[in-house]
Chains A and B, each alone.
Chain A
């Protein structure tokens, strides 16, 4: 970075501290402190009113009770699936925005991806309810077209949850993909074509390696958002959703078992960290590079 003005080192440090202070304060108050508190909560056991001791009871409960770990695994698998689907949907969209559409059309397409996010997530999920419930638009349409005899309930399936999650996550995949595909020089694609490569080979050897940091960043963001999503699985999946965040909610709010809820929270944090690490290792990348490139 070019130096704006020659300054003594202590002054530069001071300026830097002031500039970072709001962000650091925010991180400390809203992320670090609550997590410390949660960590303490998750590791204690109530032995008598207002008497606690150190214990791994909450974590033990998680592994003993099948419902808990099964929902946990199910949430992880569905989140991974939603991430993969989002990538499959977002990649062609990002390709069209960056490489096919020109000028205004490209900007317009990007805005089309953005528009759903002007509406709150609750309203968007409710929109899906209007479309998919038994008396909704889509089942009625299917009856009109004589595809089904009676209106079908399209809510409360895993597929519905996935559709909702993909829809919610799309933008967060499209943005890093667009930025990484934008930096791909068209001459590289032409050069590969000129050297005898077909579409598949160009995608495999040129486009995907170039876009890898964007793909990884998008997948990390979408996976984390999906894993921690509460509203969409609850509204679209109803009682069948079995999403891990619901278990956490139940422990904190319904059962008032903060200790168990805190333990679940940490397990979820551990899961997302582990999955991200796994994904990075599988694609041979480093977290810092991925975040810097996007």
Chain B
């Protein structure tokens, strides 16, 4: 195995009374797209700024391309960064922006112009070198910011929520473009975001960060289907979270009851004892909906519900139910067939899920209020 492009060990940053980054250890493989996903205030920006060299860690080590970054100033690191607001230089043309880093390295002017033009062509902005930065559209600025960094051929490209400022349509488009750019450059990308969809779509591996620590590092599929903690289950993708107390253990299944008296079963992740508080997570697409209980598969737990509201969103349409006994809210994804197009608010329905596909975590109360 080659040396990882980024190796972080026991990295610490302490701010007054809270630890922004708490003994983090992880590695990023060469050429991969690595995302750090977490809610605001989880320490991801601090981590990124430590990698870039803008913040000095209070402990631990940081190696980039096998070289220790201890005492190396930001302008001497083989790392470039795409800033949240892009931070393009408004006093320079597009070409001057891209050539800025080359000029600082003392690359001669003809060579600088050649490489700038080649890079602009690569990001689809051929001939834009003379334009002013404010003449560009949001997506084009994004590409200039990436070109400005990539022209320096860094070992590592850091991206600080660069899509945050774009509108939804453009963001979706830039996601695809970013992934293609990363694939074509082959440079290692470290991307931080609070948007789980960006992290899932773009990354080879994702680290979910909470309170200065990584809750889980894995492929997007791992995070989605095998969340390691309640936090990950709640933060990544939509999930129904039902909290209660453990009343029975049955093999790998745990039975729990909510204070309102709703009893359900789920596969146990980790350990828990009878009487412990726990939370069950069921994805909306794991649950199914029928008008009559006997139409649901036999291995499903079956409950009665009443339609509280219909959330039509094309392929992501869902229905919000109230479970009949407890009145608790439960979200079920609607099938794409349009079979339930005539569903009405207030209608009584049956819903259920396979307990093997629902996950139970002990505690589970530290899960984030869903964004």
Contact = CB atoms under 8 A, between A and B. Distances in A.
B87 A191 contact: yes
Contact of A196 (B54, B89, B152): B152
B91 A195 contact: no
B54 A190 contact: yes
B149 A195 contact: yes
Contacts of B89: 188, 191-192, 205-206
Contacts of A20: none
Contacts of B104: 195-198, 201
Interface in A184-234: 185, 187-188, 190-198, 201, 205-206, 209-210
B81 interface: yes
B52 interface: yes
B169 interface: no
Interface residues of B, number: 25
B91 A210 contact: yes
Which range holds the interface residue count of chain A? 10 to 19
Contacts of B75: 193-198
Given A201-B104, A205-B100, A209-B91, A193 B74 contact: yes
Contacts of A198: 75, 104
B148 interface: yes
Nearest to B105: A196
Contacts of B81: 190-191, 194
B105 A190 contact: no
Nearest to A197: B104
Contacts of A197: 75, 100, 104
Q: Chain A: interface secondary structure?
A: helix
Contacts of B79: 194
B85 A185 contact: yes
B91 A190 contact: no
Contacts of A205: 89, 91-92, 100
A192 B83 contact: no
Contact of B87 (A190, A196, A210): A190
Contacts of B91: 205-206, 209-210
Nearest to A209: B91
A195 B87 CA distance: 12
A195 B85 contact: no
A195 B54 contact: no
Interface string B93-126: 0000000110011000000000000000000000
B210 interface: no
B288 interface: no
Contacts of A210: 90-91
B80 interface: yes
Query: Which of A193, A196, A201 has the most chain B CB within a 10 Å cutoff?
Result: A196
A195 B83 contact: no
Interface string A41-73: 000000000000000000000000000000000
B83 A187 contact: yes
A59 B83 CA distance: 61
Contacts of B74: 190, 193-194
A155 B160 CA distance: 58
Interface in B203-219: none
A197 B106 CA distance: 11
A254 B101 CA distance: 64
4 closest Cβ pairs, A-B complex: A195-B101, A187-B87, A191-B87, A196-B104
Interface of A: 185, 187-188, 190-198, 201, 205-206, 209-210
6 contacts: A191-B88, A193-B54, A194-B81, A195-B104, A205-B91, A205-B92
